A and B are shown apart, each in its own frame.
Chain A
Amino acid sequence: MLLTTLMLIPLVGSIVVFLLPAAKATLAKQIALGFALATLVGSVLMVLGLDNSSGGLQHVESYDWIPAFGISWTLGVNGISAALIVMAAILVPVVIVAGWWDAENSGRGTVKGFFALILALEVFIIGVFTANDLFLFYVFFEAMLFPIYFLIGRFGGPQRAYAAMKFLLYSLVGGLFMLAALIGLYVVSSRELGQGTFDYVTLTSLNIDPATQKMLFLGFFFAFAVKAPMVPFHTWLPDATAEATPGTSTLLVGVLDKVGTFGMLHFLLPIFPEASKFFAPVIIVLAVISIFYGALLAIGQTDVMRLVAFTSISHFGFIVLGIFVMTSQGLSGSSFYMVNHGFSTGALFLVMGYLVSRRGSKRIADFGGVQKVAPILTGVFLLSGLSGLALPGMSSFISEFLVLAGTYAVNPTAAIIATLGIVMAAVYILWLYQRMMTGVPSKEVEETVTEISRRELVAIAPALAIIIALGFVPQVALNVINPAVDQVQTYVGVTDPESAVVIEGSGS
C-alpha cells in the first residue's frame, strides 16, 4: 500500500487546493507546499525501506483492475525508479517555492489552479515511475500530458497556446504508436501464455520472436524518443520551455522527459532484448547526433530558456547513449545522470527564471554585467551552470564520466566523439556566463536586476546542495541504483566486456 499511499498524498492535496475559494491564494500555496513536503517525506521513507541487495521490484502491490484484458493495478519500484521518484519529490516543493508568484505574474488561470495542477502532475509522475503493469504505465504516461498542457497553456508566455498544442500533439502521436505496440504486445503474450497480460515481470520472461520484437520495439521507442526528446523528435521542447513558466519547465524537462529514458531502460531493454541489441548501433548514432546537435544549437541560441532546452537535448543524448551501450557503467551512469540532470537543469531553469522575471526579457543580449549588480545571484548562476557542464566535483561529472567510460568499453568511436560534447558544453555555459554576467551593466540591467531574494535562494539551495553532495559521495545514489542496473543486464543477457574500465563503487 506504500506506493498507492504515496500517490494519494499529492492527489488529496491537489483536490483540496482546487476546492479552496479563489481568493485564498496564499493559503493555497501553503497547503500545496505542505502536501509536497509530505510526499517528499513519504518518498524518502520509501527509499529507506528498499533492500539494496536485490535488484528486483520492491514494495510491490497488485490488484485486479480489468481482468478481461489482463490489466491490473500493479505498482513496484526498483533502485532506479525509486531514485527518480525522490528526485521528483524534491523538485516539486522546490518548484512551488521558486514559482510562488508565477501564477499571479502570468495570469489567466487562477493561483490555486496552478498549484493544484502541479500536485496533480506529481501524482502521475509517481504513477508512471511505479507502474509495473504496462497498461497502467500507458495510462499514467498519457494522463501526465494534461496537467502539463494546462500549465503551459494557461500560465505560459505569449505563444503559450501554440507551444501547448505542439507539445500535446507530439506526445499524443507518440503515445498512439506506443498504444499500437502495447496492443501488439498484449496479443503476443496471449498467444504465448493463453491469457494476455500486461504484467511487467511476466512480459520480461516472454520469448518473442525477433521480427515481432523489432516491430513492437519501434512503437515503444518512438513514443519514448519523442518524450526524451531525441533528435529528430525534439522540436516541441524548445517551444514548450520558452513559453512555460520556469517551474513548469523544470518539471517538464527535469522529471517528465525522464519518463522517455526511464522507459527505454525499464521496459525496452528487458522486454525486447533482441530488438534492443539489433537497434543499438542506430540508436547510439542518434544519441551522438543529439549530443552534438543539442550542444551546437545551444551555442547559437539568443533566448536563455531555449538555450537551456537545447543543453538538455544534448544531455539526453548522453543518457540514451549510456543505456544502449548496455554496460554496467553505461547503465548506472545513465540512471545516475537522470537524477543529476533533474537537479542541474532544474537549477538552470530556475535561475534563468529569476533573471528573466527581473529583466522582463529572455534575450541574452539584454543582459550583461549582472555580477556587478547581483553578485549572489551570479554565484548561483555559476554553480548551476557548472553543474550543467559537468565540472568535476559536481555529481553530473560522475554520471557523464560513467557513461563515457561505459561507452568506451564497447564503442570507442562513439565515446570519443561524445567527449567532444563536453567541450561544447563548456562553450555554451561559459560563453553564456560571459555574455550575461560579465562586462559593464547597461542602464536597464542596473535598474531592473536586483539581488536574489531569500525565498528564491531557499528554493534553489536544495538542488545545488544535492548536486555538490552527490558529487562527493555518489555512492549514496549508486548503491541504490546499481542492483537494479544488474537486473536490467540480466534481463537483456549482456555482461560487461573484459576490457571494461572498472570503477570503484560502480557496476558489479
Chain B
Amino acid sequence: MNVTVEYQALAPIIILLAAGVLSVLVEAFIPRTLRRPIQLMLVLASIVLAFAYVVINATAQLAGDPVTNGGQVKGLRQLAAGGAVAIDGPGMVIQGIILLVSFVAALLLAERQIDPQGDAFASRSSTLPGSEDERQFTAQGWLQTEIWPLYLFCVGGMLLFPVSNDFLTMFVALEVFSLPLYLMASMARRRRLLSHEAALKYFILGAFSSAFFLFGAALIYAATSSISFSTVAVAMENSSQDGLIIPGIGMIAVGLLFKVGAVPFHQWVPDVYQGSPTPLTAFMSAATKVAAFGALLRVFYVAFGGMRWDWRPMMWVIAILSMVIGSLLAVTQTDMKRMLAFSSVAHTGFILLGVISTSAAGLSSTLFYLLAYGFTSVGVFAIVGLVRDASGEATHLSQWAGLGKKSPWMASIFALFLLALAGIPLTSGFTGKFAVFTAAIDGGATPLVIVAVVASAIAAFFYARVIVLMFFTEPPVDGPSVVVPSAFTTVAIGTSAAFTLLLGIAPQPVLDLVINAGLFIR
C-alpha cells in the first residue's frame, strides 16, 4: 500500500510531537538556567501553533461536492495517514478543546510563585524523599524542567487519541499520553510519598486497562479480520461471531472507561487526583477526560454504532453507577481534592448520557459538555492549589472555613466553579447538563435522566456545603490563606471563569460550533 501523509490534516499532532522531540534536545544541550524560559516558550508556542492549525483545518473551504464531504461546506473531513487517522468535525472540536485546556494547564504548571520553594514539581525526583540530597537540591532552587517534554508528548498523544481510526493507532496514542502522565503524577514537590503511591497505582491499573483494551482489539480482529473502525463496523453487521464480538466490545470499553474514570473503573481517580501535583490534577481532570471521551465517542459511534442495542444496557448500568456512586461518595469526603475527584466521577456519568444517545444531538451535547467541564475543572483545581499554609496545600475541608472573609474574590470565583459543577443555571455546567439530558430523553433514556437529576440533587448538597463553609463559618485561627499567584495562574483562572460564565449566559455560538461539527467520518 502506498501511504501518503496528509501533513496539513495531521499538523496539530505533528507539531506537538516534534516540539516534544525538540524539548528533549533542549534538556540535553541547553544550560540549566536557560532551560525553563526556553521550554516554556516552546510549549506555549507549539500549543498555539497547533490550535491555529486546528482552526485553519476546521474552517478550510473544501473543494468538491458537499454531499461527499458529509454535507458540510467547511472544514476538513478526510482519512489521513493511510486511513489510520480520521480528521473530521467532532475530532477537530475535541482537538481544539484539548489544546485550549492544555494551554491553560501549562500556565498552571509554569507557576512558581505560590510555593516559596519553586514550582509544583519536585526539585529533583531522583532524590529520595526526605534525604539530604533532596534538601540540597531544593535549597539550590533546582527545577525539574523534564516535565515539559513529557507534557508535550502527553498533549501530542491526546490529540491523536480521539482521531485515531483504528484500534492499533488508538492504542499507541493511549500509551503515548498515558506514560508521561504516570511519570508526572509521581513528581509532586510536597508529600512525595503520597505522590509516588498515586503514580504507582495509576501505572499498574493503567497498564492493566491497556491490556484489556489490547485484548479486546485482538478479539474484534479475530471476529472481523480488521482493526479499522469503518471496516469493523461493516463486518460486525454481517458477522455471526457474537462470542468474540461481545467480549471484544466489553474489553475495549473497560480500557476506555478506565481512562474517563467511570464506575467501577474509578478506583484510581481519587488517589491519583489527590496525590498528583495539583496543576497536573487540573490538567488530567480536564484534558484526559476530554481526550478519552473523544476516543470513546469515536469507537462507540463509528466502530460499534451498529451494535448499540448490545452495548447500551452495559453503558446504562455504568452511567447510573457513576452518577450515583460518584455523588454519594463525594458527600462523605473530607479532602477537597478527593471530593472533586468523586465529583469528576459523577460528571463522567453525566457525559455518558450523551454517549448513550448515539445521535447527532448526543454527539454535539457531549462535545459541549466536555468543553464546559474542561474549563471549570481546570479552574477549580487551580484555586485548590492556591490555598496553602506553611506545610503546603491545605486541602482538608475544615481548613477552608471562612475563606470567603479572607479572600472574597478567590472564594467567589471558586463558588462560581462549584455552582457550574453543580449545574446551576447561567453557568456552563447547566447548559451542558441541559444539552445532554435533552439528548438522552430524545434518545429514549428518560429513566437515566431521572437518575441524573437525583444525582444532581445529591451533588448540589456537597457543593453547597463548601460554599456555606467558605462564606458562613468563622475562619480557624491558624488557618491557611490564599496565596497571591503570578500572572500565569491569574490568567488561567480568569480564562476558566470567563468560559464558565460565557458558556452559561451566551452559549449560542459554541452550540452552533458543536452542532455544525457534524458527525464522525466513517
Contact = CB atoms under 8 A, between A and B. Distances in A.
Interface of A: 65-69, 138-139, 142-143, 153-154, 161, 165, 168-169, 172-173, 176-177, 179-180, 183-184, 186-187, 190, 196
Given A172-B457, A176-B456, A190 B425 contact: no
Contacts, number: 62
B409 interface: no
A183 B464 contact: no
Contacts of A172: 457, 460, 464
A169 B463 CA distance: 12
Contacts of A190: 442
A344 to B, nearest CB: 33
Contact of B438 (A139, A153, A173, A186): A186
B442 A187 contact: yes
9 contacts: A69-B511, A142-B425, A172-B464, A173-B457, A176-B453, A180-B449, A180-B450, A183-B434, A187-B442
B507 interface: yes
Nearest to A161: B472
Contact of B507 (A66, A165, A180): A66
Return the 4 tightest CB-CB contacts between A and B, nearest first. A68-B511, A180-B453, A139-B425, A187-B441
B472 A183 contact: no
A172 to B, nearest CB: 5
B424 interface: yes
Given A142-B424, A184-B441, A187-B438, A68 B515 contact: yes
Interface string B400-417: 000000000000000000
Contacts of B441: 183-184, 187
A4 to B, nearest CB: 16
A68 B441 CA distance: 16
Contacts of B461: 169
Interface in B388-446: 424-426, 431, 434-435, 437-438, 441-442, 446
B477 to A, nearest CB: 19
Interface residues of B, number: 28
Nearest to B424: A142
B437 A183 contact: yes
Contacts of A142: 424-425
A69 B434 contact: yes
Contacts of A168: 464
B468 A66 contact: no
Given A142-B424, A183-B441, 13 more contacts: A69-B434, A69-B511, A139-B426, A154-B472, A161-B468, A172-B464, A183-B437, A183-B438, A184-B446, A187-B441, A187-B442, A190-B442, A196-B438
A177 B460 CA distance: 13
Interface in B505-522: 506-508, 511-512, 515
A304 to B, nearest CB: 26
Contacts of A177: 453
A156 to B, nearest CB: 11
Contacts of A67: 508
Nearest to A64: B508
Interface in B481-522: 506-508, 511-512, 515
Interface in B179-224: none
B434 to A, nearest CB: 7
A175 to B, nearest CB: 9
Contacts of B454: 176
Contacts of B457: 172-173, 176
Nearest to B433: A179
Nearest to A168: B464
Nearest to A138: B425
Contacts of B438: 69, 183, 186-187, 196
Nearest to A187: B441
B491 to A, nearest CB: 26
Contact of A143 (B425, B437, B456): B425
Interface centre among A142, A165, A183 (most CB of B within 10 A): A183
A173 B449 CA distance: 15
A153 B470 CA distance: 13
Contacts of A196: 438
Contacts of A66: 431, 506-508, 511
Nearest to B450: A180
A177 B441 CA distance: 14
Contacts of A139: 425-426
Contact of A165 (B435, B450, B468, B512): B468
A143 B442 CA distance: 27
Contacts of B442: 187, 190
Contacts of A153: 468, 472
Interface string B53-76: 000000000000000000000000
Nearest to B454: A176
